[in-house]
Amino acid sequence: MARSPSRLSHKARKRLSILFLVVGLPAYIVACVTVVNLFDRPPILLELAVYVALGIVWAFLARPIFLGVGRAAPEDEDRE
């Protein structure tokens, strides 16, 4: 099965996902808290809803990065 040249290798995808978790997720959290703090403190349920919505947005944005990372590398499956 031939890969397209624009796709990342499994090893590169794993490294990118770790980098995203270590750097990107904390940066996203800081950005979200900063934006929410620009406004007066809303009622607690509204604030909770905003953070839940931002968490769902993060999950959809990060999904392509984490797809297939937990599986064995395709190179390893070819050797078997």
Our count of domains for the chain comes to 1
Is the per-residue pLDDT at 18 higher than 70?
yes
pTM for this predicted structure: 0.67
Q: What is the pLDDT of residues 30-80, one digit of tens each?
A: 998 898 888 888 889 988 898 899 999 988 988 888 877 777 776 665 555
Confidence (pLDDT) at 78 = 57
The predicted pLDDT at position 65 comes to: 80
pLDDT score recorded for residue 13: 82
The percent helix, strand, coil of the chain (3-state, each to 5) is 70, 0, 30
Residue 33 lies in a domain: yes
Range of the domain at 47: 11-69
Residue 6 placed within a domain = no
Per-residue pLDDT, averaged over 15-37, amounts to 90
Task: Answer whether residue 3 is part of any domain.
Answer: no
CA–CA separation, 75 and 8 (whole Å): 13
Contact 68, 13 (CB under 8 A): yes
